[in-house]
Amino acid sequence: MKKKISIFLIIILCLLLIAFIFTYKLLFADNINDNQTQKQHLFFVHTGSSYNDVLLALKKQHLIKDMSTFKLLAEKLNYKQNVKPGRYAFDNSSGNLTILRKLRSGSQEPVKITFNNIQNKEQFAEKIAKQIEASKEELLGEFNNAHFLDSLQLTEENFPTIFLANTYEFYWNTSARQFIDRMLKEYHKFWNEDRLEKAQAIGLSPTDVIILASIIQKESTHYDEYPTIAGVYLNRLKIGMPLQADPTVLFALKKLGVSRRVLHADLKIKSPYNTYLNKGLPPGPICLPELKSIDETLQAEEHNYIYFCAKEDFSGYANFAETWEQHQANARKYQQALNERNINR
């Protein structure tokens, strides 16, 4: 009798051990195909994907070791009815339960998007499309949506001013319109009462401030000089003098497919961005200026300078002048410095 009981207990223990091993394998055992060069694996579920689409994507990526246990648990957890789009990250030790809990709950990893010094909408759309689900074409469609632009009182040219160069977190499955809505929210947050008052004090709208800041950022790399340069351009605007900013001509050349330094003949090219021929600000920004560039532009100095040119010490700073004669003298000093160094300009 005791022998029968012992055999029965051994059988029970074996069954429990088998059940434990199966349960552990089903729920917790590593089920990721490890890659020695990767500690983390990214998996994307596209908007509108079905359960079968997810399975096909997992197989194509060779992400799961044992699909049979994965599908068994997926059915038990009713994942078929809870497929959520997103960008999911799994480490090498992830088991089925960890994987499916993330997928089922939509617990995705956010994407950090940084953009600055963007030259045009096409380049911007392409950069963003590489980091979120929205395509370049979808983004450009929203950027050029006439009805939407009218609602914001913006044009295709100055629309990029709503995109403030910074680092932002997005979920990967962000649509083109959701991206723009988020950017608008950040734009209104940035243009608080203090900044709006500063813009009004220098006689510019927020859009105009950003356009001017984009020019100044291309003129100089020294933030402490931006307020002085901003004052020069504001003085020119006040007296109806063209801005005569070389960076805007360079931008115009790039729009024509020409990539080189500005030549004297280029100052006559017909373009709304040629600030030698056209008075006032260009129709849109020539880059997406940094937030600091915008803030320094808002600190525009009040002075009588009308001209500026590069300093002869090659420091990157400028000499400023109130009269054409003073400016010419500064220009001669810079040219002499170039000649002494055998630099052709």
The string of DSSP codes covering 75-97 is HHTTGGG----EEEEEETT--HH
- Mean pLDDT confidence for 245-255: 92
Residue 45: how many other CB atoms lie within 10 Å? 22
Tokens representing residue 97 in the block: 């339960």
Interatomic CA distance for residues 244 and 247, integer angstroms: 9
| pLDDT of 213 | 98
Distance CA 289, CA 215 (A): 8
For residues 193 and 200, give the distance between their C-alpha atoms in angstroms, rounded to a whole number.
11
**pLDDT given at position 215:** 97
Distance CA(213)–CA(262), nearest Å, equals 20
Domains of the chain plus CATH, in order, are: 31-109 (3.30.1490.480), 111-190 (no CATH), 202-303 (no CATH)
Q: Mean pLDDT throughout 183-198?
A: 97
pLDDT digit string, tens, across residues 148-165: 999 999 999 999 999 999
pLDDT surpasses 80 at 28: no
Q: In degrees to the nearest 10, what's the CA dihedral of 46, 47, 51, 56?
A: -20
Among 21-35, 214-228, 242-256, whose mean pLDDT is lowest? 21-35
> How confident is the model at residue 338, as a pLDDT?
85
Residue 41 reports pLDDT greater than 50: yes
Mean pLDDT of the chain: 90
Percentage of the chain modeled with pLDDT above 70: 90
Phi/psi of residue 90, each to 5°?
A: -130, 135
pLDDT for the residue 24: 47
Please say if the pLDDT value at position 17 is more than 70: no
> Which residue did the predictor score with more confidence, 9 or 172?
172
Mean pLDDT over 319-344 rounds to 90
